């Protein structure tokens, strides 16, 4: 190995960990982690506290209906409803939405990847009547 090649190899080895650190810090707090969620008629279970960062949410729908999952950042209080009085106004919450899954079949497991900064979030299903029936849960991200 020539000395130039050796130096190039040494520099590459020295920089690789720095590149990895830069990549992870660009995503917020660094490591991504996985949490599990369960949906059923008519409830959503998720941990009440989730660490900030990139989060993979593994969502299993235990049915018997199809269910969707929408995540919004919400400081406090009730979410705005549409005029039908049965569904949440996703239009009013567009800027607060951090992620969403379309309706999934009973028995299906799906992944929702979100980047969560510290704060309060509400996860809900907005299929007609499901939110009002109890398909929502509040999560604090720390």
Binding site for Cu ion (CB under 5 A): 67, 125, 127, 130, 135
Minimal distance in Å, beta carbon 22 to Cu ion? 40
Cβ(105)–Cβ(127) below 8 Å: no
In this complex, which beta carbon is closest to Cu ion, that of residue 86 or of residue 127? 127
In this complex, which beta carbon is closest to Cu ion, that of residue 55 or of residue 68? 68
Minimal distance in Å, beta carbon 76 to Cu ion? 23
In this complex, which beta carbon is closest to Cu ion, that of residue 36 or of residue 128? 128
Provide the token pair at 116: 């969560």
CA atoms within 13 A on the CB side of 32: 13
The SS3 call for residue 19 is: helix
Q: Minimal CA–CA distance to 76: which of 119, 16, 136, 47? A: 119
Minimal distance in Å, beta carbon 49 to Cu ion? 23
């Amino acid at each position: 190995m020539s000395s130039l090649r050796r130096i190039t190899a040494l520099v590459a080895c020295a920089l690789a960990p720095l590149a990895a650190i830069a990549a992870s810090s660009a995503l917020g707090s660094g490591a991504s982690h996985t949490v599990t969620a369960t949906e059923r008629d008519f409830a959503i279970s998720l941990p009440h506290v989730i660490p900030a960062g990139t989060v993979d949410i593994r969502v299993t729908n235990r049915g018997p209906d199809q269910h969707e999952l929408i995540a919004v950042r919400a400081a406090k209080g009730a979410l705005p409803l549409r005029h039908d009085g049965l569904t949440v106004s996703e239009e009013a919450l567009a800027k607060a939405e951090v992620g969403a899954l379309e309706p999934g079949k009973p028995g299906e497991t799906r992944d929702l990847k979100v980047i969560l900064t510290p704060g309060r979030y509400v996860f809900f299903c907005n299929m007609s009547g499901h939110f009002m029936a109890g398909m929502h849960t509040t999560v604090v991200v720390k």
